[in-house]
Structure 1
Amino acid sequence: MRYELTDLRLFMAIAHAGNLSLGAAQVHITPSSASYRLKNFEHAMGTAMFTRNARGMELTLAGEAALRHVRELFEGVERMHGDVGRFTAGLKGHVRLAANSSALNGYVTQSLGRFLVLNPDVDAEVEERQSETIPAAVLAREADIGIFAGPTSVEGLLEHRYALDRLVIVAPPDHPIAALNETKLGHALDFDFVCMSRSSSNFLFLRDMAQKIGRPLRARLHAHSFDAVLALVELGVGVALVPRSVVLATGLSKGLSAVPLAEDWSVRELKLVVREDARLPGFTQAFIQFLLDDPLAASTRDEA
């Protein structure tokens, strides 16, 4: 039974991408070499790891079992590098973070940037996901750290209160909504919206909330970033649902009005989670503490 760490990295990349060519690109090898390595790995395991169909490549039951062990193996490799790294100058390693769009744009990105500058031998993999999917992703070892809003029923996680944020409606100063002290989403849906991209967690949350109250969402335009959304709102294209933290960082300087929503769900408690049984390397623990100690995030925790 012979295979290399590259074969295991490839197997994990294909499982994540659901596609051989995309998985090969992630580990920087050609599709033909990837195909050979995967066949060798499956031969060594004595069974197929994937089923091939029109949608791509899906894990077999054996493949799902193997993936759990491969993730544990690479966690061990990271811990080894972290432990050995204590005998050299600085932190070294790779950290994986999954977060919703509010957390990423309001708090995490700036903290992450400062941490990476201070620790040049640490790199990071950041993925935006819907809040509802993040706890399970952390439990399944798809991410080391998760930051999300709202409750979760997923067990086996250690939770930290990270920050408190609020979703608001932003509009130009001369817009009818701008004259209100607060509003409800149902009223805001009377107007055109500027939205984040269709795959963003912010847009998916807005779409789901509109469906829950039985109102259509008039998405006039989808933009690639919150900065672009706010710029388009400033031009009068429509209103937008954005985190207050993002507005405070960039929007108020544009002269936009931020109107609170008079609905409990608009207050979003952001939680930082890791697995309870995780044996995290030193650099990951340091990053978690760096996130929790960030003054901007910490200052929101005492808000009602």
Structure 2
Amino acid sequence: MRYELTDLRLFQAIAEAHSLAGGASAAHITASAASYRLKNLEHALGTPLFVRNARGMDLTPAGEMMLAHVRELLQGIERMHGEVGRFASGLKGHIRLLANSSSLNGFIIPSVSRFLAAHPAVNIDLEERASQAITAAVAAHEADIGIFASDMTMAADTAGVHAVRYAVDELVLAVAPDHPLARQGRIRFGAALGFDFVCMSRTSSNFLFLRDTAQRAGKQPNVRLHAHSFEAVLALAAAGVGVALVPRSVAAASMLEGRVVGVALDEPWAVRELTLVTRADGKLPGFAAAFVQFLLNDPRVAITRETGAAPDAAS
């Protein structure tokens, strides 16, 4: 049974793209060359790996098993290169990180920028996902690290991951200084639903949480505008367009500058535990393990685990 690592990487690319053309593009070869290599791989294994249909290409049961082994094999090779490379020129490699929008914008991006500046040979893929989807993705080897808002039981309910407490944040209502809610020290979320909102995109985890929480209260938020970033959302709130439900860590600078007022929510879900998960087998390359420790030891992050509250912008 003979095949090359190139064939295995191509197989993984096709499986993840659900398309021969998509896999070929990811592997930087032509579709005809990809088809030829895939046929040779299936011949060497003695079984079909894909079912071709109108939607694209789906894995057969043999293909599903093959994908799990290929991911582990290729990750092992990447770990090997990463560990050996450390002896030559410091940390080197590629990290895949999934996070919900709140943790991504409130804590992770500042940490990532400092880590990348210190380690120019490391690349990081950042992708936003809904919190409830992240642990399963890490367990399935779709990512090396996941960070999301929940309690630790969400991570514990998914086999194959190791969970640690990452940070503590708080959801607040950001409003213009002259907004009627700005005079309120703390309110229930239902009291805010009578006002207009400005939100992140319809697919963002932040908006989906707002919508679902409002629906559980039997109401539908009136969203005047969906913006592409928290910065835009906060600018709209400062201009009086609507109320924004945002993490305190994200709004801290705007609050400190007086552009918005942060109104605390008298809700148990407003305090957000952020959890970091990695695969339970602990098989992270050295550079990825170093990145995990960098994330956890960032002073702005670590202080929230001690105080149980998000820092202000001056921290």
Instruction: State TM-score, norm by structure 1.
Output: 0.92
What amino acid is aligned across from residue 194 of structure 1 in structure 2? V
What amino acid is aligned across from residue 215 of structure 1 in structure 2? K
Deviation readout 1:111-142 (Å, 9 max, x if unpaired): 11111111111111111111111111111111
What amino acid is aligned across from residue 213 of structure 1 in structure 2? A
- Structure 2 residue corresponding to 1:191, chosen from 185, 195, 209: 195
Match of 2:311 in 1: none
Shift of 1:20: 3.5
Alpha-carbon contact 1:234-1:254 (below 8 Å) kept: no
Query: Are residues 249 and 16 of structure 1, via their aligned partners in 2, closer, same or farther at CA, if it must alter by over 3 Å?
Result: farther
Aligned CA-pair RMSD: 1.9
Alpha-carbon contact 1:106-1:249 (below 8 Å) kept: no
Q: Spell out the pairing of 1:10-29 with structure 2 (5 A cutoff).
A: 10-29=10-29
Give the whole-Å Cα distance in 1 for the aligned partners of 2:244 and 2:114. 29
What amino acid is aligned across from residue 261 of structure 2 in structure 1? S
Match of 2:46 in 1: 46
- Structure 1 residue corresponding to 2:279, chosen from 264, 271, 275: 275
- Structure 1 residue corresponding to 2:228, chosen from 220, 224, 230: 224
- Structure 1 residue corresponding to 2:158, chosen from 154, 159, 162: 154
Match of 1:262 in 2: 266
Match of 1:107 in 2: 107
Q: Spell out the pairing of 1:93-172 with structure 2 (5 A cutoff).
A: 93-151=93-151, 152=154, 153-172=157-176
Give the whole-Å Cα distance in 2 for the aligned partners of 1:279 and 1:181. 47
Query: Are residues 203 and 82 of structure 1, via their aligned partners in 2, closer, same or farther at CA, if it must alter by over 3 Å?
Result: same
What amino acid is aligned across from residue 208 of structure 1 in structure 2? D
Deviation readout 1:131-185 (Å, 9 max, x if unpaired): 1111111111111111111131113322221110011111111112222111222
Give the whole-Å Cα distance in 2 for the aligned partners of 1:20 and 1:251. 50
Match of 2:290 in 1: 286
Of stretches 43-52 and 69-78 in structure 1, the one that deviates more from structure 2 is 43-52
Unaligned runs of 5+ in 1: none
Match of 2:211 in 1: 207
Of stretches 171-180 and 150-159 in structure 1, the one that deviates more from structure 2 is 150-159
| DSSP-derived class of the 2:194 partner | coil
Deviation readout 1:263-296 (Å, 9 max, x if unpaired): 1111111111112212222111111111111011
What amino acid is aligned across from residue 296 of structure 1 in structure 2? R
Deviation readout 1:83-131 (Å, 9 max, x if unpaired): 2113212111111111111111011111111111111111111111111
Give the whole-Å Cα distance in 2 for the aligned partners of 1:32 and 1:253. 58
Unaligned runs of 5+ in 2: 309-315
Query: Are residues 237 and 27 of structure 1, via their aligned partners in 2, closer, same or farther at CA, if it must alter by over 3 Å?
Result: farther
Report sequence identity in percent: 61
Instruction: State TM-score, norm by structure 2.
Output: 0.89
